[in-house]
Amino acid sequence: MCGIVGYIGGKKAAPILLDGLKKLEYRGYDSAGIAVRDGEKKPTIIKAEGKLQVLSEKTADGESVKGTCGIGHTRWATHGEPSKINAHPHHTDDDSVVGVHNGIIENYKELREKLLRHDYKFYSETDTEVAIKLIDYYYKKYDMGPIDALAKTMVRIRGSYALVVMFADYPGEIFVARKESPMILGLGEGENFIASDVPAILKYTRKVQYIGNLEMGRVTAEGVTFFDLNGDEIEKPVSTIEWDAEAAEKGGYEHFMMKEIHEQPKVVEDTIRSFITGEEGAYKVNFTESGLTEEDIKKCSGVHIVACGSAYHVGVSTQYVFEDLARIPVRVELASEFRYRKPILGKDDLVIIISQSGETADSLAALRESKEQGVKTLAIVNVVGSSIAREADFVCYTLAGPEIAVATTKAYSTQLIVGYLLAIQFARVLDKLDDEQVNNYIDDLLTIPGKIQKVIDDKERLQWFAAKYANAKDVFFIGRGIDYAICLEGSLKMKEISYVHSEAYAAGELKHGTISLIEDGVLVIGVATQSALYEKTISNMVEVKSRGAYLMGLTSYGSYDLEDTANFTVYVPKVDEHFATSVAIIPLQLLGYYLAVARGLDVDKPRNLAKSVTVE
């Protein structure tokens, strides 16, 4: 979604703003703009529709814009079409207030009417322009300072926002306000930064302060002062981001997605090791850092896993593993459904929210709904300090590092690991596994990084296959049990970056309607890693083949008879079947990637998609 960058200090602001916005390109956007102040002078506002490159060219990479204080924005259209006029920053007619905004102002129509009655005029269709003019209205009408005007605006607007604002009367200062949309403050030496996401400022500083919900801040080159809604000053700790700047660079790969696919062996191993203790032969699972105790597990009566997109698919895989190992009821739900269906939660249930960004609006709302019902929440999150991480009762961090490609790969893989380990821990505490069995499962988990590497090393075959199917129109993924969960994610990987229509079906469901879509040449990918379901899935594959489908089979080494049915077979190393998703997903990630490349598409930034979906 939209990206925000702000800078105040001794250097030229525009190149830093453009550089920061570039780091946020992965979030998805359709236009961009900057506003820079040169001392007392009015801000220079430059905007452009389309890629950031256009804005860079207009400003000689920012070098032609004077000033050491500024704000920048990449916009992902919500209110009003993508256009230069709707791009941020927005400003008042006299430029007394200029600002950028992420989020959605829900009551902007009513506020616009009010401002029209007070002789304000509007040049754009955006809710942001309304917010900026409302701040100006309070600032002037009540002759207030910036913090009071912001507070009054915050009380009046409904919705979510990260607002970054400059006032003409306050040249060396930038003001920020936040409710629900992410924003962090980066602290430098004689300079400070504002960003909606960590990669924008990693190159300059790793010291940050987090602004909370319904809080404001005044940023100068010397420091940041935080305020609550009453205008009273509040203290904030300084945190250090552990990610290094190189982690957010392509490092010689053509696309971030390919780099992130290659990072999976390492981040999966790091994540496993962060939740285990002990030596070989006596490994134990350890969730102490998350805050989850054995007592919490003992009194848990059921688990609800709630998430969106790929994180939801992790939930589907985890459900099978959890129920099988721990014999406790697990329900998986899409956060966008959960939040509005008045879920019935038992008082001793545990709600697990899975989210890479920790900022997904629906997942955050689901977490809040659960907390309102008094139910304990556990978050599996990648971004430290994100809203979901801060609000959950227990937090398990995945160690994927910054994930830039819109299509998730390494974050998904690390989320799976935390899901497995939670299942193992529940099973042990609930006396369904003894120490030796736990140790054996961990031994098996520790083989996964090497097995993922092996699949990656074999990637050329998939590249060849993808080139052959570059013109595919419809693809179906079929599987049963955990293989169905693998299909869900494989299908999403394909459609989101290669724009090939694909669907995942529980293989047993085909005959209930979908099989009518199978005709000559349609590609069907059958996933068969689960021995108990293997023959049943093969039967379903035979059914579609006899109706003209071209079959790709995906199974583990050893199941060579699949070749009797499939036209093209991909093998992955064997792993305990509970953990098959971790290995079998890799060829499907590669297939999605190579298909998108073969079709000449923008792999890292697929159309219409955003990395972090912070609005409903």
Minimum CB–partner distance for residue 405 and ligand M6R (Å): 8
Residue selected from 311, 482, 494, 591 as contacting ligand M6R according to rule CB under 6 A: 311
**Cα angle value 588/459/542 (rounded, 5°):** 50
Q: Would you say 62 or 182 has its CB closer to ligand M6R?
A: 182
Minimum CB–partner distance for residue 494 and ligand M6R (Å): 11
Minimum CB–partner distance for residue 364 and ligand M6R (Å): 9
Q: Does 355 bind ligand M6R (CB under 6 A)?
A: yes
The H-assigned helical ranges of 430-533 are 435-445, 448-457, 460-468, 482-498
For the question of residue 611 being annotated catalytic, the response is yes
- Could you tell me which stretch among 4-12, 253-261, 309-317, 435-443 binds ligand M6R (CB under 6 A)? 309-317
**Size of site (CB under 6 A) for ligand M6R:** 16
Q: Does 496 bind ligand M6R (CB under 6 A)?
A: yes
Bridge partner list, 354: 307, 380
CA distances (Å), origin 457, targets 107, 260, 451, 461, 462: 53, 14, 10, 10, 11
Minimum CB–partner distance for residue 312 and ligand M6R (Å): 8
Minimum CB–partner distance for residue 217 and ligand M6R (Å): 25
Minimum CB–partner distance for residue 309 and ligand M6R (Å): 2
What is the number of other CB atoms lying within 10 angstroms of the CB of residue 222?
12
Q: Does 317 bind ligand M6R (CB under 6 A)?
A: no
Q: Does 357 bind ligand M6R (CB under 6 A)?
A: yes
Residue selected from 56, 398, 439, 612 as contacting ligand M6R according to rule CB under 6 A: 612
- Could you tell me which stretch among 109-117, 303-311, 429-437, 525-533 binds ligand M6R (CB under 6 A)? 303-311
Residue 396 · residue 274 · CB < 8 Å: no
Rounded to the nearest angstrom, the gap between the alpha carbon of residue 274 and the centroid of all alpha carbons in its chain is 21
Residue 198 · residue 241 · CB < 8 Å: yes
Q: What is the pattern of x (binds ligand M6R, CB under 6 A) and - over residues 395-414?
A: -----------xxx------
Minimum CB–partner distance for residue 483 and ligand M6R (Å): 19
Residue selected from 192, 209, 356, 540 as contacting ligand M6R according to rule CB under 6 A: 356
Of 56, 61, 67, residue with least CA distance to 7: 67
Q: Would you say 363 or 582 has its CB closer to ligand M6R?
A: 363
Minimum CB–partner distance for residue 13 and ligand M6R (Å): 30
Minimum CB–partner distance for residue 550 and ligand M6R (Å): 26
Give CA–CA dist 184/178, Å, rounded.
10
Among all residues, whose Cβ is closest to ligand M6R? 309
Label the pairing between strands 174-179 and 215-219: antiparallel
> Which residues, including other chains, have CB under 8 Å from residue 182's CB and lie 6 or more apart?
102, 162, 196, 197, 357, 359, 386, 387, 612, 614
- Could you tell me which stretch among 196-204, 308-316, 371-379, 465-473 binds ligand M6R (CB under 6 A)? 308-316
No. of helices (H) and no. of strands (E), the chain? 19, 27
Using DSSP's 3-state secondary structure scheme, residue 203 falls into: coil
209 phi and psi angles, rounded to 5 deg: -125, 140
Q: Which of residues 100-129 bind ligand M6R (CB under 6 A)?
A: none
Give CA–CA dist 550/566, Å, rounded.
8
Residue selected from 3, 33, 217, 309 as contacting ligand M6R according to rule CB under 6 A: 309
Which among 2, 69, 300, 396 is annotated as catalytic?
A: 2
Q: Would you say 491 or 569 has its CB closer to ligand M6R?
A: 491
Residue 151 · residue 229 · CB < 8 Å: yes
Helix pair angle (410-429, 580-598), 10° resolution: 170
Q: Does 491 bind ligand M6R (CB under 6 A)?
A: no
- Could you tell me which stretch among 155-163, 286-294, 349-357, 389-397 binds ligand M6R (CB under 6 A)? 349-357
Rounded to the nearest angstrom, the gap between the alpha carbon of residue 568 and the centroid of all alpha carbons in its chain is 33
Bridge partner list, 218: 175, 225
**Cα angle value 451/453/457 (rounded, 5°):** 120
For the question of residue 308 being annotated catalytic, the response is no
Answer left, alpha or beta for residue 190, where phi above 0 means left and psi between -120 and 50 means alpha. left
Residue selected from 211, 380, 416, 613 as contacting ligand M6R according to rule CB under 6 A: 613
- Could you tell me which stretch among 130-138, 155-163, 230-238, 306-314 binds ligand M6R (CB under 6 A)? 306-314
Residue selected from 181, 209, 310, 498 as contacting ligand M6R according to rule CB under 6 A: 310
Q: What is the pattern of x (binds ligand M6R, CB under 6 A) and - over residues 447-486?
A: ----------------------------------------
What is the number of other CB atoms lying within 10 angstroms of the CB of residue 276?
17
Q: Does 363 bind ligand M6R (CB under 6 A)?
A: yes
Residue 298 · residue 429 · CB < 8 Å: yes
Under the rule (CB under 6 A), what is the footprint of ligand M6R?
308-311, 355-357, 360, 363, 406-408, 492, 496, 612-613
**Residues carrying an active site annotation:** 2, 611
